[in-house]
Amino acid sequence: MATYVCSSLWRKLRTNLHFLRQFSSRQSSVATSSSRVKALAIGACTFCATGGFFWMKCRPQIRRGGVFPLRTVNAIEVQRARMGKVLWTWADDYSNYPISDKEERFRAFASCEYNGQIYMTMQDFLESVTEENPRPRIGRFQLQDEKVKFMLNNTISKKKESTQLFRTIMDKGIISYTEYLFLLCILTKPKAGYEVAFKMFDRDGNKKIDRREFLLMEEIFRKKTESEKGNEFGSGESSTGSGPTRELDMQVQETTLLRYFFGAKGTDTLDYATFCMFMDNLQAEVLELEFYEFSKGMPTISEAEFAHVLLRYTNMDEDKMKEFIQTVRERMPEEKGINFMNFKDFFQFLNNLDDFEIVLKMFAFADQPMNEAEFGRAVQVATGHILDPHVVHTVFQIFDKDGDGKLSQNEFLGVMKNRIHRGFRTEHLQKPVGWQGFKACVKQELKQK
């Protein structure tokens, strides 16, 4: 890209120089032409140097925007079509297939490719839900058959329940795009929704999930996500049509998650207890990563750091976020600290935000402000969670604008609804990419000078 820009500038510069020579010979004004040539040369060099500087600064945004095309994650559907087994109605022209927000983020963080399909490692997934941008890299790692076989053969048994599953596997395991959608759904599901989720997977009602049922439900996740209709755990019948269920192609590439759930032969099953444990552990693992990023090995984080974690995945601009955090520092100068269990309880409460919103609307309808005691009681009534009073007090210092001890309900709900989208990066959370991202980056750099 930089070479192309420089060569284009040189061609234009050479043309202008030729024209100026002819012009100067006709007009016999060599001195004037020389000054013009020098000015043009200086301007061109300055432009090239400036362009090169901003290219190095803004290259990640341009790359994410598609200047360097990436292979679609839907390659598996193309493979199925070639095999004569098309699932759902995915035999469309993939060159015109619109990329969703979730797929764009998957492609940005996925670091591996195998047989024409893009995969995330477990480390990639954790980074996609805890980091704003992926780590710098040049291309994707091309996996070979031996490497994939080694990964699958060394998959941890699901009997070893742990809140460090993904951190244990890291880059020695792969997950597909449909599994990525499934994992994102898990992160925002309250415990009350676990049973509904399990029943949606368990299509034959035998209280166990087999490999075929899991793959079938993954495709429903994808179809609902791409069409942006309904809830991920909505009715499966609406997605499959009124006719009989179409045959599911079982010749999909095995992944670490499939091997973990269903064993080497694909004949193992998931019961409800194991399913719930996996969901609990994944939520806890992501929260641990966020907590320990700020605690640096200490048992607590400060109230200002808690505010930072709470606000950093929202659509709030950076300057306003700093104001909120500074307000917390000023209102709570003596740090008491927040431990992980209280931290975890609060963020799991946010997964029940829809139920809690009903209570807040009742207070708003009655034109009654909500104080800290009423907030804690409302949380317990609506969601069953009992929040630590100090955490509630910290939340009020963030969202109590005038310091009168009353919660700014609309702002709290708006910001928290953004927060629970953590790894989703919906449209309003995404930074501009491509040319728009380049211009935004230039403005930001100039602003900092």
In this prediction, residue 78 carries a pLDDT of 41
Q: β-strands 141-142, 112-114: how paired? A: parallel
Question: Do 177 and 73 form a contact (C-beta atoms < 8 A)?
Answer: yes
Mean pLDDT score, 199-213:
91
Q: In the predicted model, is pLDDT for residue 249 greater than 80?
A: no
* Averaged pLDDT, 376-382: 87
What number of CA atoms fall less than 13 Å from residue 9's CA on the CB side? 18
Quote the pLDDT of residue 424.
52
The answer on pLDDT for 339 being more than 80 is yes
Q: Nearest Cα to 306, choosing from 282, 320, 287? A: 287
User: What was the pLDDT predicted at 361?
Assistant: 83
What's the confidence (pLDDT) of residue 50? 63
Comparing CA positions, the residue from 73, 59, 137, 76 lying closest to residue 104 is 73
Minimum mean pLDDT among 194-203, 211-220, 326-335, 440-449: which range?
440-449
- pLDDT tens by residue, 115-173: 999 999 999 999 998 888 888 888 899 999 999 999 999 998 887 777 889 999 999 99
In angstroms, the first-to-last Cα distance of the chain is 26
Across 38-61, average pLDDT: 60
Given this model, what pLDDT does residue 222 score?
A: 67
Residue type for position 122 = M
Least confident of 13-27, 227-241, 391-405: 227-241
Q: Provide the pLDDT for residue 117.
A: 93
Copy the structure tokens of residue 170: 């890291």
d(CA 144, CA 427): 35
Q: Which of 279-293, 327-341, 410-424 is predicted least confidently?
A: 410-424
Going through 243-316 in order, the beta strands assigned E by DSSP cover 300-301
Q: What is the pLDDT of residue 41?
A: 63
Percentage of the chain modeled with pLDDT above 70: 65
pLDDT in the model for residue 151: 94
Residue 229 has pLDDT above 50, yes or no: no
The pLDDT of residue 428: 37
Q: What is the pLDDT of residue 85?
A: 35
Residue 272 has pLDDT above 60, yes or no: yes
Q: What percent of the chain lies above the pLDDT cut of 90?
A: 34
* Closest to 408 measured CA to CA, from 418, 398, 419: 398
How would residue 38 be classed by pLDDT, with cut points 50, 70 and 90?
low
| Token pair listed for 11 | 């061609």
Contact present, 252 and 134 (Cβ < 8 Å)? no
Q: Residue 89 carries which side chain, given as an amino acid letter?
A: T
Where is average pLDDT lowest: 201-205, 336-340, 407-411? 407-411
Mean pLDDT of 179-189: 89
pLDDT in the model for residue 430: 45
Q: pLDDT tens digits, residue range 72-117?
A: 444 444 443 443 333 332 233 333 445 577 888 899 999 999 999 9
C-alpha to C-alpha distance for 248 and 73, rounded to whole angstroms? 19
pTM: 0.69
- Cα–Cα dist 57/63, whole Å: 12
Note the pLDDT of residue 28.
45
Taking the C-alpha atoms of residue 97 and residue 267, their distance in angstroms, rounded to an integer, is 34
Least confident of 204-208, 212-216, 231-235, 402-406: 231-235
Confidence of residue 357 (pLDDT cuts 50, 70, 90): confident
Average pLDDT, the chain: 75
pLDDT band at residue 7 under the 50/70/90 scheme: low
**Nearest alpha-carbon partner for 107 in 70, 59, 58, 67:** 70
